A and B are shown apart, each in its own frame.
Chain A
Amino acid sequence: MNHYPQAWGRPRDDVYGPYDNSYFQASAPQTHTQSPAVTGTSVLGVKFKDGVVIAADNLASYGSLARFTDVKRLRTFPPNTVIGFGGDVSDMQYLDRLLQSLDIRENYLSSYGHVLNAKNLHTYLSKVLYKRRSDFNPLWNMLLVAGLDDDDKPFLASADLLGTTFSSPTLATGFGAHLAQPLLRKLMPHDEDSVKDVTKEMAVEAIKACMKVLFYRDARSLDKYSIAVVTKDGVELKEDQKLEDQSWAFADQIRGYGTQVN
């Protein structure tokens, strides 16, 4: 307790929190970001009977410049969760550091039984994103959380810069939501009930096909990508995969744009 006169009548720090000294500074700059700078494009995710497959390409674009080509947008969280980020890369790094400090804190519990699974992480991230949007200072990302839930069943959910969340057997962010989802949904004629009929090979094939389509049609994509398969045995992460069997043979028949034939 501080009994000196300068503290008489001062509310207790441990009850009301310390003074917010930013109010004493007349000209603090506003730091609310409203547009992304360096961005990643789509992330794709598909459930299968034993887990989830998730993939994202290795490109960070600076507007229309393909700026960084070895960017890993799939981040793992032990023991078996993978989070794929689309959107602003610096916000992705911020969230990655936040998750890392969460992981360090979880390890402080003495026994190795407590686990933050994918579902818990998704809840946490969606609340962080919603809070930031409510402050008009969003984290400009659309992310997919892939892993297992409390009952060790496959878990796949998305969260975005507005704090909106979705869960579905197949999900995609960015361009993937338009181009890849219809292809991925062909695997799931009966929604959740189809998950048990999908094998790992089917899921990986579908994802690879969609990554090829996205490279053909998404102008901000790359043919190098990372893919992760999450099961209860852990995460199998393959970075630096190259797209195979690309078909560009039609290119030499192109003459100009549209209907131009010479």
Chain B
Amino acid sequence: MTSIGTGYDLSNSVFSPDGRNFQVEYAVKAVENGGTSIGIRTKHGVVLACEKIISSKLLKPGANLRISTVDRHAGVVTSGLLPDGRHLISRARDEASSWRQTYKGPIPVHALASRMGGYVQAYTLYSSVRPFGVTAILGGWDSEAELGVDGQVGFGPSVGAGGKLEDEVVKRGGPGLYMIEPSGLYWGYYGAATGKGRQAAKAELEKLDLASPTCSLSLKDAVMEAARIIYVAHEDSKDKEFELEMTWISTLDGPTKGQHQQVPQELLEEAEKAAKKSLEGDDDEEEEEEEGDAMQE
């Protein structure tokens, strides 16, 4: 909106006089036009959801999955230019695989976020490439079990010097949710949203009070909430049809056993029904309230 076209925006890596990289800011515009995606982190797991706008009736329903798995324990959903998203996810998979080869174990979610952030940032440094036109939400679960080493054959002596101490109270593992922007900047979140409907989604996420230590949202509740929030966020693109896609990762003794998986069909349908119902409920309330008041959106 300000100082567009003043010559500092034609090349990547160029600083404008007020210290901005315009190409990165334009990349953010591409994200803002994309379908909404959100992530919710709870003590019991992480849920990722996205709004897939149906651009053609000829698309095969249930195919074209937007949320991708990285290794086994992490998932990434992107909003914006989808081919760029695939490129980033491909790199994330390579990073996870390379970590496994070096350290013989799964990559911790924070390390993966750091690698992805670094890669995205590298594409803002050179004029021979352009920035990524996506924001990626990364959700994962670090295992709370004592990780062995990949391919280990035995468990060592059960007594004596090399034996294990039963009383070790080491708090391992836990959920991770990160959002990486086209500039390479990333933060850890309890609730993250990006894409067209992100304002509405962020407002809803804040209502859930996820950051509070007393938040008692179960994983199933998080799934229901995620569906509802996507439906709310979709109001911004009401004129188009959309498909809801959701994935989740739970603790080792939860429904997914630490793996990133699609939310099962029955739960997905249940969440969608509840979401639609609550939206209708809201509409009824709004109609009752307004008496010549301006509509909120």
- Distance of B260 from chain A, by nearest CB (Å): 9
Say yes or no for A192: interface residue by CB 8 A criterion: no
Docked-complex contact A104 and B153, CB < 8 angstroms: no
Which residues of A sit under 8 angstroms from B104, Cβ to Cβ? Answer: 97
On whether the beta carbons of B97 and A101 are closer than 8 Å, the reply is yes
Q: Which residues of A contact B154 (CB under 8 A)?
A: 60, 68-72
How many contacts A-B (CB < 8 Å)?
A: 43
1/0 per residue, CB under 8 A from A, across B212-234: the answer is 00000000000000000000000
Q: Which of B118-171 contact A (CB under 8 A)?
A: 128, 150-155
Q: For A69, list chain B residues within 8 Å (CB).
A: 154
Whether the pair A97, B151 counts as a contact (CB closer than 8 A) is yes
| A window 37-63: CB within 8 A of B | 60
**In the complex, residue of chain A having the shortest beta-carbon distance to the beta carbon of B104:** A97
A89 at interface (Cβ–Cβ under 8 A)? yes
Q: Is A134 an interface residue (CB 8 A)?
A: no
Asked if A168 is at the interface (CB within 8 A of a chain B CB), the reply is no
**Complex: A180 Cα to B153 Cα, angstroms:** 25
In the complex with contacts A97-B104, A101-B100, A107-B151 CB distance below 8 A: no
A100 within 8 A of B: yes
Decide if A110 is an interface residue (CB 8 Å cutoff).
yes
Q: Residue of B at shortest CB range from A95? A: B151
* Beta-carbon contact of B155 and A110 below 8 Å: no
- Interface size of B in residues (CB-CB distance below 8 Å): 18
Give the Cβ gap from A2 to chain B, nearest Cβ, in Å. Answer: 8
Q: Please name all residues of chain B whose beta carbon is closer than 8 Å to the beta carbon of A110 when the two chains form the complex.
A: 63, 65
CB contact list, A88-122 vs B, under 8 A: 89, 92-94, 96-97, 100-101, 104, 107-108, 110-111
Is there a chain A Cβ closer than 8 Å to B72's Cβ?
Answer: yes
Question: Which one of A71, A93, A104 contacts B97 once the chains associate, using CB atoms below 8 Å?
Answer: A104
With the chains together, A190 CA to B102 CA distance in Å?
Answer: 49
By beta carbon, the residue of chain A nearest B149 is A93
Q: Does B68 contact A (CB under 8 A)?
A: yes
Q: Which residues of A contact B101 (CB under 8 A)?
A: 97, 101
0 or 1 for each of B63-107: is its CB under 8 Å from A? (1 = yes): 101001101100000000000000000000100010011001000
Q: How far is the CA of A1 from the CA of B72 in the complex (A)?
A: 35
Q: Decide if B153 touches A72 in the complex (CB within 8 Å).
A: yes
Residues of A close to B150: CB separation below 8 A: 96-97, 100
A100 vs B152: C-alpha distance in the bound complex, in angstroms?
Answer: 12
Q: Which of B101, B150, B151 has the most CB of A within 10 A?
A: B151
CB-nearest residue of chain A to B90: A108
Q: What separation, in Å, do the CA atoms of A1 and B126 have in the docked complex?
A: 12
- Of the residues A1, A71, A100, A101, contact of B153 by C-beta under 8 Å: A71
Structural contact, B69 and A100, CB atoms closer than 8 A: no
Docked pose: A107 CA to B104 CA in angstroms: 19
State which of A73, A94, A107 has its C-beta within 8 Å of the C-beta of B69.
A107
A72-B153, A110-B63 given; A104·B72 CB < 8 A: yes
Assess whether A93 is in contact with B153, with CB atoms less than 8 Å apart. yes
How many angstroms between the C-alpha atoms of A104 and B71 in the bound complex?
6
Residues of A within 8 A of B97 (CB): 101, 104
CA distance A196 to B7 in the complex (A): 78
Residue of B nearest to A73 (CB): B153
The residues of A with any CB-CB pair to B shorter than 8 Å are: 1, 60, 68-73, 89, 92-94, 96-97, 100-101, 104, 107-108, 110-111
Report 16 cross-chain contacts, Cβ distance below 8 Å, ordered by A residue.
A60-B153, A68-B153, A70-B153, A70-B155, A71-B154, A72-B154, A89-B153, A93-B151, A97-B100, A97-B104, A100-B151, A101-B97, A101-B100, A104-B97, A108-B68, A110-B65
Interface of B toward A, CB cutoff 8 Å = 63, 65, 68-69, 71-72, 93, 97, 100-101, 104, 128, 150-155
The 10 closest A-B pairs by CB, nearest first: A93-B151, A70-B154, A96-B151, A110-B65, A71-B153, A97-B151, A71-B154, A97-B150, A68-B154, A104-B71
